[in-house]
Chain A
């Protein structure tokens, strides 16, 4: 689905980093996509003449995809990144890449959730990390 992304996440251009949801089982697993383009504003400066997606943005993509593990919309609320563990950046992402964002819930306690995430492109893993996120708001 591409409809409903802006209804679910409070993020907006230029920081909305999820383009499509492919699979979604709230509380368990989400698979989403982000299409990388020369038009992405961040690539103008990272780097001059050699655009590639910053690793920290791949972490952010996983966090945003993780927002879809929540059943209810997050607009008017927020999910904050509370921790990152075991992050690995194995290869960069370039304009034209279709990034697959796969996020699994490892469990939650007292409003804090742990996610295992992988960014891949054409079957190749570019980034993997565990994220701790905390939902805040009504």
Chain B
């Protein structure tokens, strides 16, 4: 698992208080919302704030969110592409 992907999964678990889950429990390809991890719109805002605080990357609108939240892997890719540091 790439370091960034691992960091992203750790941030998801910590930010959303997914107690008892480990990064290995989050499938790289599974959708974060709906069927996969089953997150909702409140979780989406929480993730947007977590991504901003942890990685300094802003998800500006719903279109960017649609792309970034496709899966854990897509989110890591999105952060990797938009991170300035």
Contacts and interface: CB of A to CB of B under 8 A. Distances in A.
Nearest to A106: B49
A112 B62 contact: no
Interface in A91-138: 106-110, 112-114, 132, 134
B65 A109 contact: yes
A135 to B, nearest CB: 12
A114 B49 contact: yes
A107 B49 contact: yes
Contact of B44 (A106, A109, A113): A109
Contacts of A132: 42, 45
Interface residues of A, number: 12
Q: Which of A108, A110, A132 has the most CB of B within 10 A?
A: A110
A81 B45 CA distance: 14
A57 interface: no
A88 B41 CA distance: 24
A108 B41 CA distance: 11
Contacts of A114: 45-46, 49
Given A107-B48, A107-B49, A112 B42 contact: yes
Contacts of A107: 45, 48-49, 52
Contacts of B57: none
Q: Which of B42, B44, B59, B62 has the most CB of A within 10 A?
A: B42
A42 B52 CA distance: 41
15 contacts: A82-B41, A106-B49, A107-B48, A107-B49, A107-B52, A108-B45, A109-B44, A109-B59, A109-B65, A110-B61, A110-B65, A112-B42, A112-B45, A114-B46, A134-B41
Interface of A: 82-83, 106-110, 112-114, 132, 134
Interface of B: 41-42, 44-46, 48-49, 52, 59, 61-62, 65
Given A107-B49, A109-B45, 6 more contacts: A109-B48, A109-B49, A110-B41, A110-B44, A110-B61, A132-B42
